Amino acid sequence: MKAVVIREHGGLDTLRVDDVPAPRPAEGEVLVRVRAVALNNIDIWARSGPPGGRPVYPWGRLRLPMITGVDVAGVVEESGPGVEGWAPGDRVVVCPILYCGRCEFCLAGEQSMCVEYHIFGEHRPGGMAELTTVPARNLLLLPDGTSFETAAAAPACYATAWRGLITAGGLRAGEDLLVVGASGGVGTAALAIGRHAGARVLALVGDAEKAEKASALGSVPIIRRDHSEFSHRVRELTRRGVHMVIDPVGAATWPESIRSLRPGGRMVICGATGGERPDLDIREVYQRHRRIIGAPMGNLADFHAVMDLVLRGVIRPVIHAVLPLEQIREAHRIFQAREHFGKIVLLP
């Protein structure tokens, strides 16, 4: 089968589509023909090496060679031993949460806190290939009306944004929400989920073109290059600051994100693409009763809650580009240059 196998860290020129043996489904697994797979930061880091060259907490270094690809939609090809309920031809989307099902966190329904928590396409081969094997319990049936591209654009980023804004952050109708990094995968998901929750959404973006797109999604854009101290602009727009910030960027935006909060406001953090060591006086947090809430990918309930909205067409994932898998270099280039607004989807 054709697959993008990351064999070494390096530039775009290390990316190519190889011919490799097709995987076989083990006990409890299903072989899925990948019809669409979305790009995430993990695909970039697997190829370029981790940001800053440091191992990524809590997993350390990625083991190579690896076929990445966290967000997958496709068609069931074959069931492995012991699998019931799936038939060849079933259209499916993959839940990327890998968990033991036995620890106290799993038993409490918090699979993304599992002591053996891992991610599909990061710690086991994923969907940057024509075929992939998936634990049967990670499959969700795709209704006929949902395209493979739409389904693949959603899982990791939309489950993360749902977890942060709704489950962990408790966003309520009428609150003001600032989405930092609003053009990225989690950012565009947060714009949609924030509006769905009835919040007034401010969107921090990089340029005028992205501001227009954020505006078309019903949010109030703030262009960062015009407002390097964007908390001032946030306070102009809201008087006392927002009730909630979601910040998937990290060190580069943390201080201004915290300053954008009104007293008692909460900052949800779920990424460190802009650095993991912020420079901040912690009094700015506690003297204003502000709260910082860590929220990476959600649990199964978060995944199903947001996917239900996506599959019913209530929330429409924002897709920047759909490219054939052969254009994997161009996909990585767009992502790394931050030219995208929404997800980049590849078709094997």
28/278 with CB nearer Zn ion: 28
* Rounded Cα distance, 190 and 27, in Å: 37
> In this structure, what are the phi and psi dihedrals at residue 243, rounded to the nearest 5 degrees?
-75, -30
12/113 with CB nearer Zn ion: 113
Question: What's the min distance (Å) between Cβ of 85 and Zn ion?
Answer: 22
- Residues 106 to 165: which contact Zn ion by CB under 5 A? 106, 114
- Residues 249 to 308: which contact Zn ion by CB under 5 A? none
- Residues 90 to 109: which contact Zn ion by CB under 5 A? 99-100, 103, 106
Question: What's the min distance (Å) between Cβ of 92 and Zn ion?
Answer: 23
Question: How many residues form the binding site for Zn ion (CB under 5 A)?
Answer: 5
* Rounded Cα distance, 331 and 318, in Å: 16
Question: What's the min distance (Å) between Cβ of 105 and Zn ion?
Answer: 5
Question: Any idea which residue has 């007293």 for tokens?
Answer: 263
* Rounded Cα distance, 180 and 249, in Å: 7
- List all residues 6 or more positions away from 104 whose beta carbon is below 8 Å from its beta carbon: none
* CB 35 within 8 Å of CB 73: yes
* CB 258 within 8 Å of CB 280: yes
Long-range (24+ apart) CB contacts under 8 A made by 210-214 are 210/182, 210/183, 210/341, 213/183, 213/318, 213/341, 214/182, 214/183, 214/341
123/195 with CB nearer Zn ion: 123
97/166 with CB nearer Zn ion: 97
106/268 with CB nearer Zn ion: 106
- Per-residue mark of binding to Zn ion, 46-85 (x: CB under 5 A): ----------------------------------------
Question: What's the min distance (Å) between Cβ of 114 and Zn ion?
Answer: 3
Buried b (16+ CB within 10 A) or exposed e, 152-174: bbbbbbbbbbbbbbbbbbebeee
Question: What's the min distance (Å) between Cβ of 146 and Zn ion?
Answer: 29
Question: What's the min distance (Å) between Cβ of 103 and Zn ion?
Answer: 3
108/141 with CB nearer Zn ion: 108
1 binds Zn ion (CB under 5 A): no
Binding site for Zn ion (CB under 5 A): 99-100, 103, 106, 114
